[in-house]
Chain A
Amino acid sequence: MTRTREWLYAWLLLLPAAALLALFTHYPAAANLWHSFYSTPKGARPARFIGLENYRALADDPIFWQALGNNLWYALGTIPLSIALALLMAIWVNERLPGRGFLRLAYFTPTVLPMIAVANIWLFFYTPQYGLLEQLTGALGFGSHNWLGSKSTALPALMAVTIWKEAGFFMIFYLAALQSMSPHLAEAAAIEGASRGYFFRRVTFPLLMPTTLFVLVNAVINAFRLVDHIVVMTRGGPDNATSLLLYYIFEIGFRFWDSAYAAALTMVLLTLLGAVAIFQFMFLERRTHYQ
């Protein structure tokens, strides 16, 4: 094949995927920026250019700031704990503990279930008066508490669901990494008389670093991307205590139909995800061992 023909061939192979990617990823990201400088068309009144007006409104919107703050707390509360649990689970499942098959099944099953179904189950778990948690705390002699209805516990209650759902998913990546590790390392360390804790700190954990970074990036993306359980369990309430950024975008865009303001909010989310991308580019790509 001549060079030009090869170029043409490659671009033709690429064309269908490129067209769809452009239409549903690149175009919307760009159009979103564009639309954020316009007002929302209402009835006969078309959209008009209003410059940074949407962003000014955003800076003055206490609910936006609360949603952003909630989202950061949510990320901070779920990510380290689910990663730590994932690592622990992977180590346990990788060892010859009795009932390993059951344990792997138990840890991983939440991952396969839809978040929406999971949320339904947990909703009942948290129900005041006769939910399972109330029964448990009641039996232990504690008073009744509305977990999802109170501002101080609603977000932590949702975090528990997320940790429960994600730890098993991240476990898989650690398990894969642990299983690809050479057994000679452990043997050599054992001969040298290194303790188990020392071996973990100095050998296993550093070797798992690329996996940890990979899992971390995925966890951060998920913390900003997945709000299904909020739709089911709290609808952002009580008093916006559980509104996350994407959920707020969903509310503004599809309950109040203010698409221009939703576009400005989406820009904030895209900027955050862009920052994650830069972090990944700087730290992850260079240090991965499997590339």
Chain B
Amino acid sequence: MTTATGVHAPPGVARLLETLGAWVLGVLWIMPLMYAFWSAFHPAAFSTNFSLAAPLTLENFVKAWHAAPFARYFLNTVILVTMVLAAQLVLVTLAAYAFARFSFPGRDIAFALVLVQLMIMPDVLIVENYRTMTALGIKDTILSIGLPYMASAFGIFLLRQTFKTVPRELDEAARIEGCSPLQTLWRVYVPLARPTYIAYALVSVSYHWNNFLWPLIITNSVESRPVTVGLQVFSATDQGIDWSIISAATLLTTGPLLLAFLLFQRQFVQSFMRAGIR
């Protein structure tokens, strides 16, 4: 398929200039990451000395791993991300179904109230949510990190749009077969919305893997800190300025996500695209 700009392919010199520009920008964009790789895989003495003779080493990773309880932080993040996603999938599916296929009094107002969260995200309500968590007595738990994000307006919006594209005939056929609304949801809507679910799951996982400010505020112990907060605690305390170890720790904490991204690059990009067109 020719793309819209494909026909207007730049001729000769212009094309060369554009390629050059695109590459300069590309190199500029990847450089900080390449640099982190360099300093993480080389001895500290070579962290600003770019010599081909620099010996490769895994020493920095070993040191970083032993300097902080990263294994526990990873476990916490995995629990957090799984818990949030599981809760989101259930809550969002039910709510989106109600908005897409039921008519009930107050639906439009309820939907508008849901959309409020697109603007006023839990990220900015830190003061009051901290108060609530204290009142509930669940401060400094993994649950308290995830709870404000579980009912996701973005997810409800995204899935409602998808559910609305499901042909009514399929819905009616299932009802005639004797399916209850919940059975219809499970057998007709959920399977048809698979791509949306995958897109949403990827966006959600990367958001919560990366989230920092709220976990920083609400957690206070090794048992509940996710890796992002663990990394900050690690690099802010007396590591001196051993950048090689900090680089190694940085790559360590982003490693799984980065690896998943590199392996499933196409799906990632397509998921973000799908999540964006709404």
The answer to whether A121 touches B257 (Cβ under 8 A) is no
Determine if B3 and A94 form an interchain contact, defined as CB atoms under 8 angstroms apart: yes
- Cβ of A21 within 8 Å of any chain B Cβ, yes or no, is yes
Given A124-B243, A231-B232, A274-B119, verify A290-B277 contact (CB < 8 Å): yes
Cross-chain contact B126 with A250 (CB below 8 angstroms) = yes
Residues 173-212 of A, flagged 1 when their CB comes within 8 A of B and 0 if not, give 1011111111101110110000010010000100000000
Q: Does B125 contact A (CB under 8 A)?
A: yes
A183 to B129, CA, bound (A): 49
Nearest residue, chain B, Cβ from A187: B7
B53 interface contact, C-beta 8 A:
no
Q: How large is the interface on A (under 10, 10 to 19, 20 to 34, 35 or more residues)?
A: 35 or more
User: Is B206 positioned at the interface, with any CB of A under 8 Å from its CB?
Assistant: yes
Q: Which A residues are CB-close (under 8 A) to B39?
A: 124
Select which of B29, B212, B258 is within 8 A of A106 by beta carbon. Answer: B29
Residues of chain A with a CB closer than 8 A to B272's CB: 111, 169, 172
Interface size on B, residues (CB 8 A): 98
Residue contact B119 to A273, C-beta cutoff 8 Å? yes
The reply to whether B102 and A13 form a contact with Cβ atoms under 8 Å apart is yes
A114 touches B33 (CB 8 A): no
Nearest Cβ distance between residue B152 and chain A, in whole angstroms?
Answer: 8
What 0/1 pattern do residues 121 to 152 of B give for CB contact below 8 A with A? 11111111111100000000000000110110
B128 and A31 contact, CB distance less than 8 A: yes
Report whether over half of chain B's contact residues are helix, strand or loop; otherwise say mixed.
helix
- Across the two chains, which residue of chain B brings its CB closest to A164? B29
CB distance from B254 to the nearest CB of A (A): 5
**Chain A neighbourhood of B246, CB < 8 A:** 120, 124
Contact B127 A259 (CB under 8 A): yes
Q: Determine whether A18 belongs to the interface, using a CB cutoff of 8 Å to chain B.
A: yes
- Nearest residue (CB) in A for B102 is A10
Contact A116 B212 (CB under 8 A): yes
Report Cα–Cα, A211/B34, bound state, in Å: 31
Assess whether A65 is interfacial by the CB under 8 Å rule.
no
Instruction: Point out the residue from B3, B110, B113, B210 that lies within 8 Å of A183, measured CB to CB.
Output: B3
* Residues of A with C-beta under 8 A to B131: 31, 35, 259
- Nearest residue (CB) in B for A245 is B124
Question: Total contacts A to B, CB within 8 angstroms?
Answer: 311
Query: In residues 176-226 of chain B, which contact A (Cβ within 8 Å)?
Result: 181, 206, 209-210, 212-213, 216-217
Q: Given the interface contacts A32-B125, A35-B128, does A172 sit within 8 Å of B269 by beta carbon? A: yes
Contact with A along B6-25 (1 / 0, CB 8 A): 11111000010011011101
> Shortest distance in angstroms between B42's beta carbon and chain A's nearest beta carbon?
14
Given A17-B151, A91-B5, A113-B258, the answer on whether A135 and B48 have CB atoms closer than 8 Å is yes
- 4 closest A-B pairs by beta carbon, nearest first, are A28-B128, A114-B210, A10-B102, A20-B151
Taking Cβ atoms with an 8 Å cutoff, the residues of A that contact B are 1, 6-7, 9-11, 13-14, 16-21, 23-29, 31-32, 35, 85, 88-89, 91-92, 94-99, 102-118, 120-122, 124-125, 127, 130-132, 135, 164, 167-169, 172-173, 175-183, 185-187, 189-190, 196, 199, 204, 214, 221, 224-228, 231-232, 246, 249-250, 253-254, 259, 262-263, 266, 269-270, 273-274, 276-277, 280, 290-291
Since A25-B153, A98-B19, A225-B123 are in contact, a sample of 20 more A-B pairs with Cβ atoms closer than 8 Å, ordered by chain A residue number, is A7-B102, A20-B147, A24-B132, A29-B120, A88-B25, A96-B9, A97-B18, A106-B30, A172-B272, A176-B276, A179-B3, A183-B3, A185-B4, A187-B2, A196-B10, A204-B4, A214-B276, A221-B121, A253-B127, A263-B127
